Amino acid sequence: MAARMTAKIVTPTPDVLARAADVLRTGGLVAMPTETVYGLACDAANPEAVAGLYEAKGRPHFNPLIAHVASQAMAEREAVFTPLARKAAEAFWPGPLTMVLAVAATGQTCDLARSGLDTIALRRPAHPVAQALLDAFGGPLVAPSANRSGHVSPTTPEHVRSDLADKVAYILDGGPCARGIESTIVAFTGETPMLLRAGALETAEIEAVLGLTLARPGGGSGITAPGQLKSHYAPRATLRLDAATPMSGEGYLGFGDHCPLEGNLSPSGNLAEAAANLFAMLRAFDLRYERIAVAPIPRTGLGEAINDRLARAAHRD
């Protein structure tokens, strides 16, 4: 693979997908749209490719990756499904749920991608372009969000290009991501399934299907998701949250009736719309302001994940 490339944003025709799959087979990187955020994909079974992916992102090696699969059959080769995990897969896959499960003996995902853990994070994405790439490649693809480590996750192909232009062969154009916020991560490795990351699938929906209350990290167990760094989503600007009104000099990111002139995550107060707009608006405001105030967002439903990402974006060490 060439050491330096200039990534093109390309329409994913069958021909382009076949060439992108060839790039993946030779250890290269391809940016693909998913319904949550854009992912930076490589062959999950190839440790050299995974090392190159970590390097491109500037990501610490201890942070394990999500393996994306094309089908339930591919998922079952990678991980051991408990009855509850299978129930969740039937209800929510393909979709924005990542499940942490015990690694199967037949698994192809390399140790480096899992940071040497005996568990694996799996997701079957719903986006047709991600599915088409997985089908063309024929095996699991690990894909973290396609941003430089520490930056806000990309929800458009242009975001990917501005972060990783010379690192990827192709940026497959799937338009803006419908969900706009990363997948919900649930671990099925303990007695009770545990919510490791609030995300695009509402916690209450999972609890309704499983008929139980998810355990939470810190609930006495001391377990947390590796790589859930507090400052993971930091923009350059400082953030002030739950701001009813802006102070002078601040950019103001509104929500519902808290209505500024420049930008509102959702004028109608719709949390799904706010999630879809969150990262793009944070990026745009970050270019224009040193300080950003954000209107209060309800903590119910998708507001849980939105407030989680905002708290991380606001955190300074």
Prior bond of 94 cis (ω within 30°)? yes
| Token representation of residue 271 | 């949390």
Supply the minimum distance, in Å, between the C-beta of residue 153 and Mg ion: 5
Among 10, 44, 65, 294, binds ligand TXA (CB under 6 A): 65
DSSP conformation class of 287: H
Locate all alpha helices (DSSP H) within 138-186, ordered by sequence. 157-164
Supply the minimum distance, in Å, between the C-beta of residue 96 and Mg ion: 14
List the x/- string, 255-274, binding to ligand TXA by CB under 6 A.
--------------------
Whole-number Å distance between alpha carbons of 274 and 306: 8
Nearest residue to Mg ion, by Cβ distance, number only: 145
In the complex, the residues that contact Mg ion under the rule CB under 5 A are 145
226 part of the interface to ligand TXA, by CB under 6 A:
yes
Among 12, 28, 33, 39, binds ligand TXA (CB under 6 A): 39
258 with 293: CB under 8 angstroms? Answer: no
124 part of the interface to ligand TXA, by CB under 6 A:
no
Residue with tokens 């099925």: 188
196 part of the interface to ligand TXA, by CB under 6 A:
yes
Q: What crossing angle do the helices spanning 203-210 and 83-92 adopt, rounded to 10°?
A: 130
Locate all alpha helices (DSSP H) within 58-110, ordered by sequence. 72-78, 83-92
143 appears as a binding residue in the annotation: yes
Closer CB to Mg ion, 185 or 214, in the complex: 185
144 part of the interface to ligand TXA, by CB under 6 A:
yes
Indicate the SS3 state at residue 53. helix
Binding annotation for ATP: 59, 63, 119, 145, 153, 197, 233
Binding annotation for L-threonine: 36, 68, 123, 143, 183
